[in-house]
Amino acid sequence: MDSIRTANFNYFIGTKVGTCTIMKELGRGAMGVVYTAYQGSLKRLVAIKILPKEFVSDVLSPERFRQEAETAAYLTHPNIVPIYEIGETDDFYYIIMQLVRGKSLGIILSNMKKHPVPSKRIMPFKDSIKLIINVLDALGFAHREGTIHQDIKPDNILIEEKTKRAMITDFGIARLSRGENLPVKRGVVVGTPIYMAPEQAAGKETDGRADIYSVGVLLFLMVAGGLPVRPETGTQTVIRKITNPDSFFLKRPSQVNPNINPEMEMIIFKAIASHPDLRFQNCQEFIDALKKYYINYISNQETWF
């Protein structure tokens, strides 16, 4: 049987979902397939994420799909993708949300690596810091509202083309302090191993510092242009993060990109510390460190924040 990542879902094109008509596929992941749709009642384009019923499982459950929608809908923030509606048809469960006109950070970084000019293959520090602060601002709000995202990675961050604003999506495996969390089958780790905090890999209870670790890995990737890690399987990475997390990165950030100074390196190291007590203790601490770096090393004139 095909996985949700490889199955052919072209037959959903043209399907009516309420007042929406599915038009074309935008992308897919482990938790569903996302399409552009036209909402005739309001004459606008929206995004619709679907979970085909044939792929429902312990991890891909209707309850988890609903929790994702309800969690994101509860979190009203300019850097979190808004949810409009949830429901189901005979064939699939669906979430209708704002269509972000732009690309995922994953696609942007991948395209940059292909640039013929080496200096253009890494996002400028100025832009990286702005995007990371957007992400941290949204996560700080979510944490205060009792939600831990637990899957921050480039593919779950959308960048608006015109405003360059970062918007977080996919709260499918979020941990909630309010209400009841959905159980995970024993021995199953949910999340993306490379960006996952060691305590999450170990199946321990997480808090906002797990998201801070993920954002630290993301910052490392953006300013270094790549992550110096072994070519391991996801399972091997999870085991390493449980048993020897300090061995995960093979080089310091400055060894990957010599333009990274000691101050930026220390910010990254603090964010990705193996033990949560050694990290930034909340998103605002992380933001303050980045703002101070920005003023000291990039521009003390610009006051965009």
DSSP alpha helix (H) spans, the chain: 62-74, 105-113, 125-144, 198-201, 208-224, 234-243, 253-256, 262-271, 283-297
Report d(CA 80, CA 71) in Å as an integer.
Answer: 11
Nearest one of 19, 18, 23, 16 to 40, comparing CA atoms: 19
Strand order in the sheet with 16-17: 16-17, 20-29, 32-39, 44-52, 92-98, 83-88
Q: Report the relative pairing of strands 83-88 and 92-98 from DSSP bridges.
A: antiparallel
Nearest one of 217, 119, 100 to 163, comparing CA atoms: 100
- Residue 94, phi then psi, degrees to nearest 5: -145, 155
Quote the strand ranges of 138-178, DSSP E: 147-148, 157-160, 166-168, 175-176
Q: Residue 87: helix, strand or coil by DSSP?
A: strand
Q: CA 5, 28, 24: angle at the middle one, nearest 5? A: 120
- Out of 2, 90, 151, 207, which one is annotated catalytic? 151
Residue whose pair of structure tokens reads 């569903």 in the numeric block:
32
Report d(CA 75, CA 73) in Å as an integer.
Answer: 5
Residue 58 appears among annotated catalytic residues: no
Annotated catalytic residues are 151
